[in-house]
């Protein structure tokens, strides 16, 4: 199972104001033990838009603070995070640098 931050947000699950509740519900319905990866992206749409329009980290409706909280969330640690943002190589380099700073690994 893959957890896609844009898909979850666009489906109406509020990762900005209630990431703990969203992940608790994910665990109850699907099971965190089945979670193998996180597709990590912001969204060009408001919560519940039912669209799938990925945005660069921190530049969409989820925003930088929520993206950082998701990256650091204990329930998601130890899983691969895969950037799925509309970017070029320099943009990916900057996003990777930012995430590494959040993790204290840079």
pLDDT at 105: 81
pTM over 0.75, yes/no:
yes
Question: What proportions of the chain, in percent to the nearest 5, are helix, strand and coil?
Answer: 45, 15, 40
Closest CA to 61 of 13, 2, 1, 26: 13
**pLDDT tens track, the chain, 106 positions:** 999 999 999 999 999 999 999 999 999 999 999 999 999 999 999 999 999 999 999 999 999 999 999 999 999 999 999 999 999 999 999 999 999 999 998 6
What residue spans define the domains of the chain? 2-90
pLDDT at 75: 97
């Amino acid at each position: 199972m893959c957890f896609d931050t844009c898909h979850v947000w666009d489906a109406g699950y509020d990762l900005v104001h209630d990431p703990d509740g969203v992940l608790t519900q994910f665990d109850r319905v699907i099971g965190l033990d089945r979670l193998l990866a996180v597709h990590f992206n912001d969204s060009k749409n408001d919560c519940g838009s039912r669209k799938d329009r990925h945005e660069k980290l921190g530049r969409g409706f989820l925003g930088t603070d929520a993206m950082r909280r998701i990256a650091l969330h204990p329930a998601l640690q130890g899983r691969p995070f895969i950037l799925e943002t509309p970017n070029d190589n320099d943009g990916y380099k900057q996003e990777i640098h930012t995430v590494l700073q959040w993790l204290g690994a840079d």
